[in-house]
């Protein structure tokens, strides 16, 4: 029975210590001005980050992080290079499209010029044929005389 009482005493003293800790924490929180809460949170985050970095160094994970950082840097360099190449390719594509439009316009002008020449050749051929026929008719008449 005495043993149980000691356990209850220990439990009561642990509860009291927990309550006291909670009361102290509440008192600290109440003492912090609202504008200081942000600063306190930042300080807590910085402390947590320092602990995390200390753990990384203790666990010898730093080289792994450096490798990851180096791979990330290399990937970013490759991405920037690819973006430049894509930009250059788009510019080249625009140039080629402009050249194609220019070539199509020039081809259309050539077709029109050839059609005009063809029509002129036909007209000249018809005129030559008429003149030859007229000359032939005149010579025939002259021969008949």
* Residue-wise pLDDT tens digits, 105-138: 999 999 999 999 999 999 999 999 999 998 887 7
Range of the domain at 103: 32-144
Q: Is the residue at 95 inside a domain?
A: yes
Q: Is the residue at 44 inside a domain?
A: yes
Burial 98-133 (b: 16+ CB within 10 A, else e): eeeeeeeeeeeeeeeeeeeeeeeeeeeeeeeeeeee
18-67 residue pLDDT tens: 555 555 555 455 555 556 667 788 888 889 988 887 887 777 766 777 88
Residue 45: alpha-carbon gap to chain centroid: 33
> Quick one: tokens of 47?
């402390």
> Quick one: tokens of 8?
């209850």
pLDDT at 2: 46
Angstrom distances, CA of residue 66 to CA of 1, 63, 69, 71: 61, 5, 5, 8
> Quick one: tokens of 91?
């510019």
Q: Is the residue at 26 inside a domain?
A: no
Q: Is the residue at 134 inside a domain?
A: yes
């Amino acid at each position: 029975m005495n043993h149980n009482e000691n356990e209850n005493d220990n439990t009561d003293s642990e509860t009291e210590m927990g309550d006291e800790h909670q009361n102290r924490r509440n008192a600290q929180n109440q003492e912090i001005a609202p504008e200081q809460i942000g600063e306190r949170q930042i300080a807590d985050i910085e402390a947590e980050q320092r602990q995390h970095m200390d753990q990384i160094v203790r666990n010898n994970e730093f080289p792994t992080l450096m490798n990851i950082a180096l791979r990330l840097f290399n990937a970013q360099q490759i991405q920037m290079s690819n973006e430049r190449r894509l930009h250059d390719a788009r510019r080249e594509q625009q140039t080629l499209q402009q050249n194609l439009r220019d070539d199509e316009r020039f081809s259309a002008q050539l077709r029109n010029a050839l059609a005009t020449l063809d029509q002129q050749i036909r007209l000249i051929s018809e005129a030559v044929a008429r003149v030859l026929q007229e000359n032939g008719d005149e010579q025939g008449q002259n021969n008949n005389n």
